[in-house]
Chains A and B, each alone.
Chain A
Amino acid sequence: MGTPNLINHLRSHRGELSQLALAECVGVSRQTIISIEKGRFRPSVELALRLARALDTTVEALFILADTQGDRK
């Protein structure tokens, strides 16, 4: 299973960056972005770093460990 994350939230706050645009930016398919956002797929460290860079944030800010979800909210 994947890891909860804020990708969808940050996409919306980056001027409605589409899933396809983000996918092309980090060099994966749109289906990969969908699966990560929905928590169906856990990306590699490299892809997580590329996603964080594309969304102008850090990996720690982008992904949420299950036992720290309460802290974020």
Chain B
Amino acid sequence: MRSHSARLRDLWRDPVAVASFLLTWGGFVLGTLHRGFFALIAVGLFGPWLLRGLGLLKQDEFREEAARRAAEIALATTGVFLVSILVANGMGGTFSQAEQITHDAIPASLPLLILALSYQLASLMRFWGARIAASRVFFGIGVVWICLAVVVAFLDETSLSAEDIAVFALIALFFMGLALLSLHRPRIAGGIALLLSLILVWMAGFMEVQAKNVPWDWVAFDTVLTAVPFAVPAFALLFERPEPDDNEELPDSVFDAVL
């Protein structure tokens, strides 16, 4: 196995990919403070494409191919989503009259979020291979979950009970387990992740029905943000093709896969 420091050096060997990732997600986070920061998303997502198109950026050919394949998946995903909205709107039967979604009512941030999420996740799946990439994504979700739990514990005036803490820890353990399963039982992990993403979509529909005062675009935004990170690795794991010359060692543990 290679040392962790060598793997970290590999990660930073492509400054364009790292800058694109940081700008895109920094834009989403900072955009909640001021909408002007959403411009960073455009720079992060489309900047490398514009530079490549102008012949000002030359990357490793595998990285370029990974980006192209990810862009195809992102285009298809976003297209299917937008067409589904238009069809649902035209049929008029999916939503009640009061909630009828007009074309103008679809916030631009929603397809942009789908585009960004599916593009970045698909490029990771292509770049690292489905198993390792999915493992890293699920591990990352677990870490984010723990961070959120800590923030909630600090911000929430009503202190968390022991039961709440146990539930938080169990969910984090579930994500770590899914990360480990992705390495050694990709089809099972993919099935669980797909099921989880479907449950998240169903829960969003349930919320939409139950909480009439919640704007539908908030629900849709949260659903995309939570379901897509499971759906993309799920499809990658389920449709992973067997590799005859499996000469790259699979990491023994999730921690080896992360670094």
Contacts and interface: CB of A to CB of B under 8 A. Distances in A.
A32 B62 contact: yes
A4 B244 contact: yes
B243 A39 contact: yes
Interface in A12-43: 20, 28-32, 34-41, 43
B60 interface: yes
B10 interface: yes
B4 interface: no
Interface string B56-67: 000011110100
Interface residues of B, number: 19
B48 to A, nearest CB: 16
A9 to B, nearest CB: 9
Nearest to B6: A20
A29 B243 contact: no
A41 B67 CA distance: 13
B61 A44 contact: yes
Contacts of B13: 29
Nearest to B127: A31
A46 B246 CA distance: 25
Interface residues of A, number: 21
Contacts of A36: 62
B245 A4 contact: yes
Contacts of B65: 41
Most buried by B among A30, A35, A37: A35
B211 to A, nearest CB: 45
Contacts of A29: 10, 13-14, 60, 62-63
A38 B61 CA distance: 16
A42 to B, nearest CB: 9
B154 interface: no
B247 interface: yes
Contact of B128 (A1, A31, A39): A31
A30 B248 CA distance: 11
Interface of B: 6, 10, 13-14, 60-63, 65, 127-129, 241, 243-248
7 contacts: A30-B10, A31-B127, A32-B63, A35-B129, A38-B129, A38-B248, A40-B129
Interface of A: 1, 4-5, 8, 20, 28-32, 34-41, 43-44, 47
